[in-house]
Amino acid sequence: MEYREKLKDKKRIVVKIGSSSLTHPETGSTNLVKLEKLVRALTDLKNQGKEVVLVSSGAIAVGRKKLGLKKQDATISEKQACAAVGQAQLMMMYQKLFAEYNQVAAQILMTKNTMVNSISNKNAKNTFEELLKLGVIPIVNENDTVSTYELQFGDNDRLSAIVAALIKADLLILLSDIDGLFTDDPNTNPTAKFIDVVENIDEKLVHMGKSSSSSDVGTGGMSAKIAAATIATSAGADMVISNGNDIENISKIINGDDIGTLFIANKADDFELVDYLEN
């Protein structure tokens, strides 16, 4: 399909990986093999001359494991403490793995305020531009330790779409725990059909997205992914939702293979990122 062929030419790519893709479901510990494959795949994109940004969840999940806390009944401050521990731990692993491929990585932590405030918004944008110019792979997460409920992005699906819009990326890849978008929840409805390409995000689709992701580790269900797709495509980026279980999906997508659900960019003439910051 012609749409898929065009993915080969994408130059500025944001990849988002969720906590459930980075941890073993049985133990909650980090899936090191997957982390290593991810780092290799992203470095390889860089080696192909593309600019790459990673939005990685996992701070809370990694910190929780490290501190031996249970997910159930964690208070907000407990989660924030987990994020403080886990984010540093996660970056340590990323830095080590990227270093093995001689790739420099950077950390960018954002809050919704970073985007709402026009000065910090501009600063964030300039920093991304500078890092990409220097050949660095920025690794982004929400600054969970200081984000209060009112000022949260909501989830990293949305954050990655906002980042894609901010830096005018031409492709966003969401690595999820599901193959893509289905007409219904495939876990409960065996007749649910897979959707290969979405040209327009209409009411029907938004309604379909109500069926949620099966994961209990991250925060973004399917409706969060459709909200992300709305932001990314309106900003002018294509977006693909695909399964993070197979990290090879990244290179397959860039190769134009039929992987995941592709949302086609539909740039709105009057696109203003601030209009999309409300949850």
User: In the set 17, 60, 247, 253, which binds ligand GLU (CB under 6 A)?
Assistant: 60
Contact map string, positions 134 to 173, toward ligand GLU, x by CB under 6 A: -------xx-x----------xx-----------------
End-to-end CA distance of the chain: 34
| Residue 132 near residue 12 (C-beta atoms within 8 A) | yes
Q: Render the burial of 125-142: b for 16+ CB within 10 Å, e for the rest.
A: eeebeebbeeebbbbbbb
User: In the set 12, 15, 18, 259, which binds ligand GLU (CB under 6 A)?
Assistant: 18
**Least distance to ligand GLU from the beta carbon of 158, Å?**
8
Instruction: Tell me whether residue 52 or residue 61 sits nearer to ligand GLU (CB atom).
Output: 61
Contact map string, positions 77 to 116, toward ligand GLU, x by CB under 6 A: ------x---------------------------------
| CA dist 69 → 12, 74, 79, 203, 217 (Å) | 38, 8, 10, 40, 14
Count other Cβ atoms within 10 Å, centred on residue 112: 22
**Least distance to ligand GLU from the beta carbon of 255, Å?**
27
Spatial distance between the Cα atoms of 106 and 248, rounded to a whole number of angstroms: 23
* Segment near ligand GLU (CB under 6 A); pick from 129-137, 215-223, 235-243, 264-272: 215-223
Contact flag: residue 219 with ligand GLU (CB under 6 A): yes
Spatial distance between the Cα atoms of 264 and 252, rounded to a whole number of angstroms: 17
**Least distance to ligand GLU from the beta carbon of 89, Å?**
11
Ranges of beta strands (E only) in the chain are 12-17, 51-56, 105-110, 137-142, 171-176, 181-182, 194-195, 197-198, 238-243, 261-263
**Least distance to ligand GLU from the beta carbon of 57, Å?**
3
Contact map string, positions 168 to 207, toward ligand GLU, x by CB under 6 A: ----------------------------------------
User: In the set 17, 46, 58, 180, which binds ligand GLU (CB under 6 A)?
Assistant: 58
Half-sphere exposure of 238 (CA within 13 A, CB side): 23
Spatial distance between the Cα atoms of 157 and 176, rounded to a whole number of angstroms: 9
User: In the set 220, 221, 244, 260, which binds ligand GLU (CB under 6 A)?
Assistant: 220
Contact flag: residue 57 with ligand GLU (CB under 6 A): yes
Cα angle vertex 132, ends 270, 198, to 5°? 45
**Least distance to ligand GLU from the beta carbon of 58, Å?**
5
Binding interface with ligand GLU (CB under 6 A): 18-19, 57-61, 83, 141-142, 144, 155-156, 218-220
